[in-house]
Amino acid sequence: MQITFLGTSSGVPTRARNVSSVALRLPQRAEVWLFDCGEGTQHQFLRSDLKSSQIRRIFVTHMHGDHIFGLMGLLASCGLAGNVSRIDIYGPPKLNEYLQACRRYSQTHFSYPIKVHTVEPGKVLDEGEFSVYCQRLEHRVPAFGYRIVEKDRAGHFDVKRATALGIPSGPIYGRLKRGEAVTLPDGRVINGSQLCGETIQGRKLVYCTDTVFCDRAIELSENASVLIHESTFAHQDAELAYQRLHSTSTMAAQVALAAQVQQLILTHFSPRYAPGNTIQLKDLLLEAKAIFPNTLMAHDFFVHDVERATA
């Protein structure tokens, strides 16, 4: 699991930062899952190592323009290139209506199937080794955070020990690798868990934006390997954050601390903290680290590998 930040500014792009979009690369499946798609996201793809042909799913948090204005351009380009088999899009109510209107008025025809799923709090997707959940956040319009859970896997299967026990190879090995109890032809019952190493814990990625501090964000982020959380404002501008229902750097850190996550990555920064201003982005990072030391600050094209938990 590898994260690439394609846009880390809030509201409007700056010279250094595009508006919101985060890509999750799943190399074992040759897939890219996209979270939000601000204007210009397709240009960011061209400047990255990602392949738009691998986009399989797009998760939209809410209907504000800096999170959706890039959708039609990206989808249309993928269709013209003819290299996408299918894209599933997940998001709040009105998302499908918005896309249908864009297609109708621009007379855009997609050469590949697109399905839009309206999300509700709870499980959004359960496919193979991954499940996706969402939770309602606190913003001016309906907004959702997403939690991607990689399922646990059985530990390393000890083939030598299985052979020494006289277990015939074949389909039985597959069942034992899954931890099942198997009855052998001679009547012995072998528990697969006894032949496997420690369970490999699945990783958990959480994406929270846009929202002011809320308990549901903590619930969604519990024990996450990586929490990507908006940090629109500095602590000094907390009143603005409450008015506009956005988070400060300290709010993001408090969510990470309360949820006991492994790693916090800040994104979605107000352009007001540009270099040369009284408060700069480095100050937001220091504020967050004072509460949650294991904090990073994203920038466009920042790549982060989601590591497994260490004992």
Give me the active site residues, please: 66
Phi-psi region of 283 (alpha: psi -120 to 50; beta: other; left: phi over 0): alpha
Residue with tokens 């894209």: 87
How many Å apart are CA 48 and CA 46, to the nearest integer?
Answer: 6
Q: Alpha carbon of 295 to those of 138, 168, 235, 250, 252: distances in Å?
A: 23, 50, 16, 11, 10
Give the burial class of 273: count Cβ atoms within 10 A of its Cβ; 0-12 exposed, 13-18 middle, 19 or more buried: buried
| 202 phi and psi angles, rounded to 5 deg | -75, 155
How many Å apart are CA 91 and CA 71, to the nearest integer?
Answer: 12
How many Å apart are CA 95 and CA 108, to the nearest integer?
Answer: 17
Residue with tokens 């939770």: 135
Question: Are 263 and 296 contacting, i.e. CB atoms less than 8 angstroms apart?
Answer: yes
How many Å apart are CA 60 and CA 35, to the nearest integer?
Answer: 6
Contacts of 102 (CB under 8 A, 6+ apart): 71, 72, 108
Residue type (1 letter), 154: A
User: Other C-beta atoms within 10 Å of 56: how many?
Assistant: 18
DSSP 3-state assignment of 148?
strand
